Structure 1
Amino acid sequence: MAFDLSVNLEYGFTEAGDKIEDRIAAAAAAGFRKVELFLLKGRDLAAIKAALETHGVELVSTVADYVTQLVDPATHEGFLEVFRDAASAAKSLGCSNVVVTSGRGVPWLKRPVQLGIFADALRKLVPIAEELDVMILLESANTRFDHPGVLCSTTEDSVVVADMVAHPRVKVLYDLYHSVVEGEDPEAALSAAMHQVVHVQVADAPGRGEPGSGKIDWPGALAMFERVGYKGTVGLELQPTKPSAEAFAYIRGLCA
């Protein structure tokens, strides 16, 4: 069950302080060579780039935006610039994966219609993704606890939209934590999604802590990733319940 790991520095290695460059240094000192971030807007990109290069660390993914309600066509034009700015910042740091989320759904449109509008927004982003040489990763998030009202709440939602767009620049990020909290059968959900999945993230449930802090069977989860044919990086997007290096020791041992 050997998998490369990346750690999300919004939550991990916060002991190093508020500066992302210091968290990069701390992650590298702990042996991590891949990291992830949320929004890059307003951050010191030069300092982050220098830290990545100095410590030999790769930025695996960032997020374009969290708030835009892409089920509303009136948001699409403005989101083109939001995405361009986010993708340009990511590429300046050597990162080619930009996560795009659906935003909140609406009660007055049928679900297939809303998913179709989201797909329309993504089609408009594809030329920018091609120009800047980035991937658009769709991520579903659970509505039961963390993100009430979000449109894409199941793994299937993101896969359906990616299938609608049917472009190699639009793929799916599968998050085991969100899948479990939403009540999915993870193996069934991921198996059905594997034709679109290019990245996986994890956290334990309940609590969104590190593997071993909740009730997920982690040897079983990693074996499941192998059974469905996933060979990529496993992202630790979680809130550690203890110091980061200690919190990540269990999953690192399983993935070694």
Structure 2
Amino acid sequence: MAFELSVNLEYGFTEAGDKIEDRIAAAAAAGFRKVELFLLKGRDLDAIKAALDANGVELISTVADYVTQLVDPATHEGFCEVFREAASAAKFLGCSNVVVTSGRGVPWLKRPVQLSIFADALRKILPIAEELDVTILLESANTRHDHPGVLCSTTHDSVVVADMLDSPRVKVLYDLYHSVVEGEDPDEALAAAMHHVVHVQIADAPGRGEPGSGKIDWPGALARFERLGYKGTIGLELQPTKPSVEAFGYIRGLCA
């Protein structure tokens, strides 16, 4: 079960300090060649790019925005500008994957209607994705613990929206932690999503710590990814309960 790993540097290698460029260097020194970040807005992109280049590290995903409630059509035009800025920053850093989340849902519209409005928002940013040559990654996040009220809380939600768009520019990021916490059966959820999944992220549950800190069967999880034909990178989007190098040791051993 050989998989390449990437590290989310919002949580990983924080021992190196607050500067992302120092965390990039620490990740590289530990043998990681791929990293992920959340928002790029307001960050020193020149310094980050220099650190990526100097350490031979690739940024493979970033996030457009967390707060825009895309079930509200009034937000769509403004989100186009938010997405353009985020995608332009990502491309400057050599990254072609931009995560888009739905934002909060509303109680007065049925779910299919809300998902359709979310899909309308994505249709508006598709020309920007084409122009800048980036992929939109749809990510569902659990509403039971981490993101109360979010519209896309199940893997199925993201798949439904990706099916509506039916575009090679719109794919799905499957997060095993969010899937488990939301109460999904990972075998069923991932199998039904595989026609869109191009990236996987993991953390243990409960707690969102490193693999081995919770109750997920990690040899079984990796076997599932392999059985279902996933061949991409596995992102470590987790909050280590011990120093990063030590925390990542177990999953690195399984993926070697």
TM-score class, shorter-chain normalisation, is over 0.9
Cα distance in 2 between the residues matched to 1:228 and 1:122: 27
Gaps of 5+ in 1: none
Moved over 4 A (4+): none
1:204 CA drift (Å): 0.1
Cα distance in 1 between the residues matched to 2:29 and 2:88: 28
1:197 CA drift (Å): 0.4
Report the identity percentage: 89
Aligned equivalent of 2:46: 46
Write the deviation string for residues 8-51 of structure 1: whole angstroms up to 9, x where unpaired: 00000000000000000000000000000000000000000000
Aligned equivalent of 2:128: 128
1:54-69 → structure 2 map (5 Å cutoff): 54-69=54-69
1:167-246 → structure 2 map (5 Å cutoff): 167-246=167-246
1:77 CA drift (Å): 0.2
Write the deviation string for residues 60-115 of structure 1: whole angstroms up to 9, x where unpaired: 10000000000000000000000000000000000000000000000000000000
Aligned equivalent of 2:109: 109
1:132-143 → structure 2 map (5 Å cutoff): 132-143=132-143
CA RMSD of aligned residues (A): 0.3
Paired amino acid for 1:191: A
Cα distance in 1 between the residues matched to 2:187 and 2:54: 39
Aligned equivalent of 2:100: 100
SS of residue paired to 2:231: coil
Aligned equivalent of 1:28: 28
Cα distance in 1 between the residues matched to 2:167 and 2:146: 29
Is residue 2:161 matched to residue 1:164? no
Cα distance in 2 between the residues matched to 1:254 and 1:199: 18
SS of residue paired to 1:174: strand
TM-score (norm 1): 1.00
Cα distance in 2 between the residues matched to 1:110 and 1:37: 33
Cα distance in 2 between the residues matched to 1:177 and 1:36: 16
**Matched length:** 256
Cα distance in 2 between the residues matched to 1:123 and 1:246: 43
Cα distance in 1 between the residues matched to 2:170 and 2:62: 15
